[in-house]
Structure 1
């Protein structure tokens, strides 16, 4: 809990939507450790109850679809703080293939915000995304700062696919609820999170699955020189907590490392950790890869939250790969690899 005010959460009644998900379950663990009284709302479409195993006796779990008003109303009752992470999402292949699914996030976000407001919730922290940033400025190495998105200037927004537009509208909606209802609000733009419990539709775990299954030739989408700033999940959850503690006016902050990491570099680090190397790499240039380069300017997070990443890429990959190998049967991954890579 370094860097966080542990006492602030003691006895706080907290709802984590999507709390059985990859990021959500880590956040729930952090909040329980800090003394919060936590409720998890999840439809378990991608989240899993096993993710909450370590805190099962310490949290309330309610199962349902937050796009349904009655369930959202019930979930947000008697709560002080909401961390809103629930969303229909996946890796690049998923958001490219299922834009309509991703568009439903706009309804989901507004129902959660409205029911929270009507139930007198004090503060809401929204899990936003680096996909809110204009795509045309990400063809070269240029770190993304929060002021590169504007709701006040004509042409100030140009998000990444429908998923990015939905996240951007989520930010704007939350700002509106802050303005109208006086709710303390914050948005954290998450940059390429990875870690234990993430599924194989996301880049780092997809690479791990293919290497663990000893895929040869090893397939990499694109030419492998596209970059991301892979950010370890525990750094992300700390940013979410700090944003909730320190920001009240819906100001968005980035949570990501500033290092550009190519897909080829990430794959190589995984090969080394597994002590395995493919005889050939096949570059699949017909696959969706998204923007060319993406890394975060974290100046605002440092200034407003005192936040900067604590985990190196090497530490994060080691932790994640250890979890993956210990929790996945090799024969199963080999047999079901294509399904795992494309379904959330």
Structure 2
């Protein structure tokens, strides 16, 4: 069991990339995903999963866009699924759980944002992930399960749902639509490429740190929506008019930049892709450019 890693959400956006990354390592992978018939909301089914030494918990309801209209599925899926998995960890004496969280800081008081920044959740999805962090920490403290909480900033890469900005812009650019439509050109985000995220997860799997440690994952720089679109234009050699609805989401945050010092020092992790390099790799992977 020492080299067995259970990955929940293994067929999802991050899960697929993590599986691909770990296939070259001397580990045995146990894939767990709703599409494979594994429902984490079913405690009996979750406890019947094969025992593992390490758990990477990626499975989540990430439908941020409808979180205010339909909060119940967000809380149910993200909290009950996490709680059931933590019971699996306790009963199987799992050594470490890697919990994939998200941006939980709300409007930043200072930039860049380190892990000690106050958490100020402004949406149900972020709140569900923070409560998940608290459950992970509770099980870590009460039952001795080491935990690494990874707060991902804005992840992008091949296979991401077109609900998100980067794949949406690329899809529109290569479609017959006359313009690129976005909601608002102004919000700035710290974008991190999927390959860097899964590398950090692998480093966390190898960590020997006791207790619970929390890490920001980002690139340490922010780009506005408008800057992101222009960079995609430049890398692709294509261009279309941009149509902005000028409509901000409820509780919109205008800028985020991750301080990744702790991940550098404790995990020995460094992002290999800046935003331009990540976008170029994405476009090449999808066959958009050579």
Task: Give the structure-2-normalised TM-score.
Answer: 0.92
Deviates more, 1:29-38 or 1:267-276: 267-276
Q: Distance in 1 between matches of 2:71 and 2:175?
A: 30
Contact persistence 1:270–1:317 (CA under 8 A): yes
Distance of aligned partners of 1:128 and 1:120 in 2 relative to their CA distance in 1, 3 Å threshold: same
Distance of aligned partners of 1:98 and 1:275 in 2 relative to their CA distance in 1, 3 Å threshold: farther
Q: Distance in 2 between matches of 1:71 and 1:237?
A: 27
Alignment of 1:85-104 (within 5 A): 85-90=58-63, 92-104=64-76
182, 192, 199: which is aligned to 1:231? 192
Residue of structure 1 in register with 2:26 after alignment: 35
SS of match in other structure, 2:216: strand
Q: Distance in 2 between matches of 1:259 and 1:313?
A: 9
Q: 2:286 aligned with 1:307, yes or no? A: no
Q: Distance in 2 between matches of 1:14 and 1:264?
A: 40
Residue of structure 1 in register with 2:55 after alignment: 82
Normalized per residue, the structure richer in helix is: 1
Deviates more, 1:267-276 or 1:11-20: 267-276
| 1:232-289 CA-partner distances (Å, limit 9, x unpaired) | 01110111121232233111101111111111111112122332211x3221123527
Q: Distance in 2 between matches of 1:101 and 1:273?
A: 38
Alignment of 1:72-151 (within 5 A): 72-75=46-49, 77-90=50-63, 92-104=64-76, 105-130=78-103, 132-133=104-105, 135-137=106-108, 142-149=111-118
Following TM superposition, by how much is the alpha carbon of 1:32 offset from its aligned partner in structure 2, in angstroms? 1.9
Task: Give the structure-1-normalised TM-score.
Answer: 0.78
Residue of structure 2 in register with 1:55 after alignment: none
Count of residue pairs brought into register by the alignment:
285
Q: Distance in 1 between matches of 2:70 and 2:179?
A: 28
Contact persistence 2:190–2:221 (CA under 8 A): yes
Q: Distance in 2 between matches of 1:112 and 1:11?
A: 18
SS of match in other structure, 2:108: helix
Unaligned 5+ runs, structure 1: 1-9, 45-61, 150-156, 327-344
| 1:114-138 CA-partner distances (Å, limit 9, x unpaired) | 12211221211100111x11x2326
Contact persistence 2:218–2:260 (CA under 8 A): yes
Contact persistence 2:2–2:52 (CA under 8 A): no
Following TM superposition, by how much is the alpha carbon of 1:217 offset from its aligned partner in structure 2, in angstroms? 3.1
Q: Distance in 1 between matches of 2:257 and 2:163?
A: 20
Alignment of 1:106-255 (within 5 A): 106-130=79-103, 132-133=104-105, 135-137=106-108, 142-149=111-118, 157-222=119-184, 224-246=185-207, 247-255=209-217
Residue of structure 2 in register with 1:63 after alignment: 37
Contact persistence 2:189–2:257 (CA under 8 A): yes
Distance of aligned partners of 1:322 and 1:95 in 2 relative to their CA distance in 1, 3 Å threshold: farther
Unaligned 5+ runs, structure 2: none
